[in-house]
Amino acid sequence: MRILVVQNSQTAPIGIVGEALVDNGASLVTIAANEGEAIPDRDGFAGLVVLGGPQDAWDDSHGPHFPEVMETIRAFADADRPVMGICLGAQLTARAYGARVYRHDAAELGVCPVTLHDHAAEDPVLGGFGPSLNLVQWHYDTFEFPDGAVPLAHSAVCGRQAFRLGRATYAFQFHPEATAGIVRGWASRFGEEAREKNRSVLDGLDHALDAHLPAAEDFARAITRRWLALA
């Protein structure tokens, strides 16, 4: 199966999710949409992954490709082909269906506790996990749930961590794809953006990655395998 991957930044590759997709028989076609590469039609693709990035999902001036990405999300969902939106991709999925995306009052950076909703117990992708997980986060923005969304996860800081629309459109605010190298790359660039001001939020990051990333990687590989099965 061919999976279309929309990349929004070179700093946010598909990581563990990509490895899991390939391990389970998928081939990936990655489009650097933020660099002007055209997003192909859904024909010939079994599913869509929209990755993260440093942009704000509500600001098309810094993401002029966002309308095309949202159109692509809707096209795959309309064809009942699985969609996985990660962080920025999750926010764009919410926005694609009319929900508000905005700056949150607190950032989540590093490894943070996430709790699965009761709705997740019967979900084909998230069922059987949790209820508490320690997962990578790296976001300043959040979203409202679009109409018809099934809430799947929340955290103490951010009440909307994951949702499903329809049969197979998933949005994850957390980062299942993130390897230790990806996260340390984000940390190394902390302070390059105006919104990044308090480096103390990264205290203990290396310890948290060592302690929690192995289990988070197992979780990521399992949910990716289940997501691919929906295709």
| CA angle in degrees (0–180, nearest 5) for 217-220-226 | 145
Calpha distance 168→131 (Å, rounded) = 21
Listed residue (97, 74, 84) closest to 47, CA to CA: 84
Confidence at residue 190, expressed as pLDDT on a 0 to 100 scale: 66
**pLDDT surpasses 90 at 194:** no
Write the DSSP symbol of residue 160: -
What predicted TM-score, i.e. pTM, was given to this entire model? 0.95
Query: How confident is residue 188, by pLDDT bands cut at 50, 70 and 90?
Result: confident
- Within 10 angstroms of residue 204's Cβ, the number of other Cβ atoms is 12
Confidence at residue 143, expressed as pLDDT on a 0 to 100 scale: 96
Contact by Cβ (8 Å): 217, 180: no
Mean pLDDT on 8-20: 97
**pLDDT surpasses 60 at 198:** no
Domain parsing of the chain, residue ranges: 2-229
CATH class of the structural domain 2-229: alpha beta
**pLDDT surpasses 90 at 200:** no
H or E segment to which residue 47 belongs: strand 47-50
Confidence at residue 195, expressed as pLDDT on a 0 to 100 scale: 56
Specify burial of residue 181 (Cβ count, 10 A radius: 0-12, 13-18, 19+): exposed
Mean pLDDT on 182-200: 69
